[in-house]
Structure 1
């Protein structure tokens, strides 16, 4: 079985589907570019700037075609007339979806597997073909993407025997994992961001110095209150000539 190699649209679709922040896109591109021809098509591994431009072009294409996030229709990853490279044409959506799953396993080194229900996936992706054809394509796409399938107990599952209506574990094959970078990409990225923030903090202290905490200058309410006794100092309304509001005015005889 011929192994599938990813292209710029696959990478761009991963960014859209898994909502990768825009400020991290270049870091993701750099990681998969460093993996080389084991993952990427040969023309994309020659120059990083050219690869980056191709990914950004595909990002615009996907956005214009309506593929924006995980709620988008998987069929929007392709246009009318595109040929399926792994599966039969009736199962091109299965091919697109499984490529996203495989890329997620590549980028997430600490993720051992993903659980999928292939039977329910047929309805979710809107695939309309014979069940026997769909089962054959599930086996083909897993082999081409170098994925292994296990049951819920972790035992190898042979898709050629059929697809059960239950969750199965899908993970990268052992041989494929050995060819990847052993470092956890996301952990490395997180540590680099923390180091960058610490360097920025140190530079800020050198430039501006430490900022003293501002002292509280607001007076308390009790200190501003007068000790004057308003009850004793108030005028007697009965003895006063000032007529209270609402009292009828009477003339003296």
Structure 2
């Protein structure tokens, strides 16, 4: 049986009271995440920085402003997506997250992902990409490629902050967000085709007059067998 989804506000309350690791001692406040609770796209960054720690919201500094510009390239607004981080507390001096911190904090991200149930997870940078995909392959090789984590489509992209320190990353970031927009439109088109096909099948005389397929175990040779529902065999994502 799949685990029941926990409402986001309950997960937020758990995060706010979390004392699992020493990062809790140095935080101003936790940074749970922000955005559409039923978002089609979940953006996962690394960890809060100074501004995020002060304001309690992810991506509010210069990198956040640039992220908003990048989202617009993909045809998205900040309020369309949900933005979260691997860590919910700021590491001292904005250092890299440590393995034990990731292990202790990511159950919250898992629950957020279960509840939001996005179609796409966009991982920004190495830490979120390696965690979501359970890989040691770095973002330099994976960025701009469509990956899978169970039922989720995962699209790794450089962290927007990378372009603030290395302008050569800007072109790659903007190209990757252009590709993300294309992937979203292609998914929309495919969904529309499925709806049309389903409507045609329901309304066609052949569909209306076709007898039910026998399900008896003694069905004669040459008769069609019922097929299992593919949705019941969807692989569960690694992060869940």
TM-score range, shorter chain: under 0.3
* TM-score when normalising by structure 1: 0.24
Q: Which has the larger radius of gyration?
A: 1
Larger strand share, 1 or 2: 2
More relative contact order, 1 or 2 (CA 8 Å, 6+ apart): 2
